[in-house]
Chain A
Amino acid sequence: MIDVSLTVAGITKSFSRRAIFRDISFSLHGGDSLAITGRNGSGKSTLVKILCDVLTPTAGAVQYAIDGKNVSMESAKDQLGMVSPYLQLYDEFSGLENLELLSRIRSNNFPIDERSSEFLKLVGLWDRRKDMVRTYSSGMKQRLKYAFALLHRPLVLILDEPTSNLDAEGVDVVKSVVENQKSSGILVVATNDAMEARWCGQELQLGDQAQAELKR
C-alpha cells in the first residue's frame, strides 16, 4: 500500500458568521476509513467539500501527504476521487465521452479506453455507455459518478451519501468499492445511514451546536 495521509487541523467553517462546525481535527493514513455523520444540515457535505478543496474553510488547514512528503492541494486532487449528490456530469455527452473528456482535462497518464471500459463494466453501465447522460436515470447517473471517481485509481476516496438513488445491485457495487478502497488507501464516507457508517473504522459526528465528536 502506498503511504498516503490526510491531516486536518482546526477546520472551522462559518457562513455569514454562523459557524457550521468548529475546530475539526483528525488524521487518516492508508487503510483508515472515517464516517462523517450527523443530522441534515450539520455540515457533512460542507466538510466533504473542504476536504476536496472545492470550498475554502474559514480557519484551519487540510494537508495531504504521499510517501511521507506533503503535497500541494493541486497535486493531491490527482489522487482524490469524490462522489456526491452535488456533483454533476455533462448531460450533452455520453457516459463514455464524459469519462474521456474529463480524463483528458485532468491530464491522466493512463490509456483512457481501457480504464473507462474497466470501470463502466464495474458499475454496470457498459451497455449504456454511448447514450447521452441526459437520458440516464438518477441511479445510472450515480453509477457514472462512481466510474468518474474511480477512473484514476485515487488513493483517497470520498463518498457523500454513497448509496443515494441506487438499487440493490448498485449498493453491492458500492460495498465492493468500499472494501477495495479500505485495503488500498483512505476512505471517507459522509452519511446519515447507520449501516453505512459502520463500514468505516472511525466516526466523526457533527452536532447541532457546531461541535464535532470523534468516536471510536
Chain B
Amino acid sequence: MSALSSTYALIRKDILSELRTRYALNALLMFVVTTVATILFALRSDQPTPTVLSGMYWVVIFFTAMSGLSRVFVSEEERGTTMTLQLVASPSVVYFGKLLFNVALTLSLTLAVTLLYTIVFSTSFTIQTPSIFAVTVLLGSLGFASAATIIAAIVAKANTRGTLYPVLAFPVLIVLLMTVMNATTKALDGEEFGAAMGDFQILLGYIFAMTGGSYLLFDFVWKD
C-alpha cells in the first residue's frame, strides 16, 4: 500500500537526516549525561530509595525528550521544508511517520538511561520485576511519543521561544508521568506483575486516546 511505503520513506528520510546532522542525538546524549551527573553529585554517597529512583528515571527521560522530540516538526519549519512535505505526503503519512520516529527515539532514550542507571546506581537500581519494567517502559515510551508529537507539531507553528515546548507538554504528560513512576517503583520493589495491571490499563487508555485524538486533530495543525 502506498501510504505504508510513503510513511516508511518519510521515517527513513528523518533517520538519514538525523544521522547526517545529529541535530537531536547530540542534545539527547548531553542531556542524559548531564542530568544523571547532577543527580549523582546531589546524592553523593547516599543510595536513593526505589521511589526516588523511579522518579529520577522518568525526570531524566522527560527533560531529555523535551530537548529532542520537537525536532521532527521544528526542523522542517525552520528550514522551510514544510511546504515540500505537504506537496509529497498526505497529513496521515506525515503524522504517523513523525510519530513512529519519535517512538523510536524515545525507546532508544529509555534504553540508554536504563543502561546508565544500572551502571551508575548499581546497588540500588535493581529491577526485581523485569516484566513490569519492560512493559512500563514500552507503554510509557509510546504514550510519551504520542503526546510529544502532536505538541511538537503545534509548537513548530508558533514563534518559538525555546521554553514553549515543555510548558505545553508538561500538563498533558503529567498523568503519564505519575502512572509510569508508580509502575516503575513497583518493578524496583519486586511486586507481582498483576499489581501493575491498573497502571497498564491507564497507560493503554492514554496511548489510544492521545494517538487517536492527535490523528484527528493533526490536519488542523499541519495545514495552514
Contact = CB atoms under 8 A, between A and B. Distances in A.
Do the two chains touch directly in the complex (Cβ atoms below 8 Å apart)? yes
A54 to B, nearest CB: 5
A86 B87 contact: no
Nearest to B220: A56
Nearest to B11: A105
B80 A88 contact: yes
A80 B88 CA distance: 10
A54 B13 contact: no
Contacts of B6: 104-107
Nearest to B92: A74
A101 B9 contact: yes
Nearest to B3: A107
B26 interface: no
15 contacts: A80-B87, A82-B87, A87-B80, A87-B87, A88-B83, A90-B13, A90-B17, A90-B79, A90-B81, A93-B17, A101-B9, A105-B9, A105-B10, A105-B93, A106-B89
Q: Which of A82, A86, A101, A107 has the most CB of B within 10 A?
A: A107
A77 interface: yes
Interface string A97-124: 0000110111100000000000000000
B224 interface: yes
Interface in B1-32: 2-3, 5-6, 9-10, 12-13, 16-17, 20-21
Interface of B: 2-3, 5-6, 9-10, 12-13, 16-17, 20-21, 79-81, 83-90, 93, 223-224
A101 B223 CA distance: 22
A89 B17 CA distance: 12
Contacts of B16: 93, 101
Nearest to B18: A92
Interface of A: 49, 52-56, 74, 77, 80, 82, 84, 86-93, 101-102, 104-107
A88 B79 contact: yes
A54 B86 contact: yes
B12 A86 contact: no
Contacts of A82: 87
| The 5 residue pairs across chains A and B that have the minimum distance between CB atoms | A104-B9, A88-B80, A107-B2, A106-B88, A105-B9
Given A86-B80, A86-B83, A55 B9 contact: no
A91 B76 CA distance: 11
Given A54-B224, A55-B224, A88-B79, A107 B86 contact: no
Given A104-B12, A105-B13, A106-B6, A88 B89 contact: no
B17 A102 contact: no
A178 to B, nearest CB: 20
Contacts of A55: 223-224
Nearest to B10: A105
A87 B223 contact: no
